[in-house]
Amino acid sequence: MLSYTIKKENPTEGDISKARFSGTRLVQEKRWHIGQVVPLIPEGYVVVQVQADGDELEYLLDNFGNLPMAKTQVISWFGDMAMFIIHNMPIGMTWDKVNQKTVRIR
DSSP string for residues in 31-62: EE-TTSPBPPPPTTEEEEEEEEEHHHHHHHHH
Which residues are within 8 A (CB) of 22 and not within 5 positions of it... i.e. 6 or more apart?
A: none
The helices-and-strands tally (H runs, E runs) of the chain is 3, 6
Is the separation of the CB atoms in 5 and 27 below 8 Å?
yes
Question: By C-alpha distance, which of 58, 57, 55, 77 is closest to 68?
Answer: 77
Domain range for 66: 2-104
Q: Which residues are 77's β-sheet partners?
A: 50
- The torsion angle over the Cα atoms of residues 22, 8, 30 and 78, rounded to 10 degrees, is -160
Question: CA torsion 46→94→50→69, rounded to 10°?
Answer: -130
- The pLDDT tens digits for 67-105 are 888 888 999 999 999 999 988 887 665 666 666 666 655
Q: What is the pLDDT of residue 97?
A: 61
Tell me, what's the pLDDT at 102?
Answer: 62
Domain count, the chain: 1
Q: What is the pLDDT of residue 39?
A: 79
Closest listed residue to residue 91, CA positions, set 102, 80, 77: 102
